[in-house]
Amino acid sequence: MSTKAQRQVWGETLSELSELDERILVLDGDLATSTRADIIAESHPEKFIQVGIAEQNIVGMAFGLSTLGYRPWLSSFGVFFTNRALDQVRMLVSQTKAPVRIAAAYSGLLNGSSGKTHQDIEDFAIMRAMPNMTVIAPADATEARAAIKWVADYDGPVYIRFARDAVQDVFDEDYVFAPHKPVVLRHGTDLTVVSTGVQTSRVAQALDSLEQEGITAKHIHVPMLKPLDDQELLQELRSAPLIVTVEEHSVLGGLGGLVCELTAGSEEPARVTRLGLADHWSESAPNEFLLDKYGLSPAKVAEHIKATLKSRK
């Protein structure tokens, strides 16, 4: 298990970058101790702006600040930006191409038992539909750190997921973040699995166990859902006997939707099954319970893959 959660990495990396980057500001919606924006509030108080419990105002003020050369990062639970402040993100960030960074803390399903009001299982679908938006979901602490550093120098709107809890490492310290590119994590012949975000870590564990049983899969991680090098992903998906997408997100409009959109338009349509939240809300429960119930734990992912392969034969 990695020692650090992505939210911790976010606070630390921004704090580190703030030493040299005068453009960085963090606007908080009074969740700093959860999102770990408190790290930068302590280390660089002049960079930290407590806006208060007012997410729409956070987006508006961040836009205004961005017109003066700042590149503000927004600190709250992702769900409040993608939903409550969506109209503000749409008009003031996406439509103006403002370099505002939406740091979506407590992303996906696992948010400390807060339940469906706080679980952001539709953010990919919403943010993918926003022209000009860059959408990133890092797999682990290492990729989160690398992505944050890339974003710091990117002049445009960004939505980036940060998971609340640590996951098993996917990448080592030599990993280089390549924007727009799918990342092939392993090769195999029985099927191709595509995943994003910290779900990639759980998929890697599932594929480890399947290998023990003689099932080999190609594993593609998509850290940047948009803009994405579509041709490269299609190339990697070519000749796949079966494609399984896995995401800590609704099966509607996220990574699974993306892969289906791509393959449906290709010369080689493939069979795709999508793992994620079916079209329903979730609930309050410990992480392991949720992952198990909603089919996202390593064991459940492996089970699904085996069942799908069997049904094809």
Residues that bind another protein (CB under 8 A): 46, 49, 51-52, 54, 56-57, 59-70, 87-88, 90-92, 95-97
- Angstrom distance (rounded) from CA 42 to CA 95: 33
Tokens of 237: 């998906």
DSSP E strands in 137-216: the ranges are 158-162, 183-186, 191-195
CA atoms within 13 A on the CB side of 10: 32
Answer yes or no: are the C-beta atoms of 175 and 143 closer than 8 Å. Answer: yes
Query: For residues 74 and 137, which CB has a smaller minimum distance to another protein in the complex?
Result: 74
Q: What are phi and psi of 160, to 5 degrees?
A: -135, 130
**Shortest distance (Å) from residue 103 CB to another protein:** 17
**Shortest distance (Å) from residue 155 CB to another protein:** 14
**Shortest distance (Å) from residue 56 CB to another protein:** 4
Query: For residues 15 and 56, which CB has a smaller minimum distance to another protein in the complex?
Result: 56
Query: For residues 20 and 176, which CB has a smaller minimum distance to another protein in the complex?
Result: 20
Q: What DSSP state is assigned to residue 238?
A: T
Beta bridge partners of 273: 244
**Shortest distance (Å) from residue 44 CB to another protein:** 13
**Distances in whole angstroms, Cα of residue 1 to Cα of each of 163, 206, 305:** 14, 15, 24
Query: For residues 89 and 251, which CB has a smaller minimum distance to another protein in the complex?
Result: 89
**Shortest distance (Å) from residue 310 CB to another protein:** 51
Query: For residues 81 and 171, which CB has a smaller minimum distance to another protein in the complex?
Result: 81
Query: For residues 8 and 88, which CB has a smaller minimum distance to another protein in the complex?
Result: 88
Answer yes or no: are the C-beta atoms of 107 and 248 closer than 8 Å. Answer: yes
Parallel, antiparallel, or unpaired: how do β-strands 101-105 and 134-136 relate? unpaired
Answer yes or no: are the C-beta atoms of 22 and 179 closer than 8 Å. Answer: no
**Shortest distance (Å) from residue 101 CB to another protein:** 14
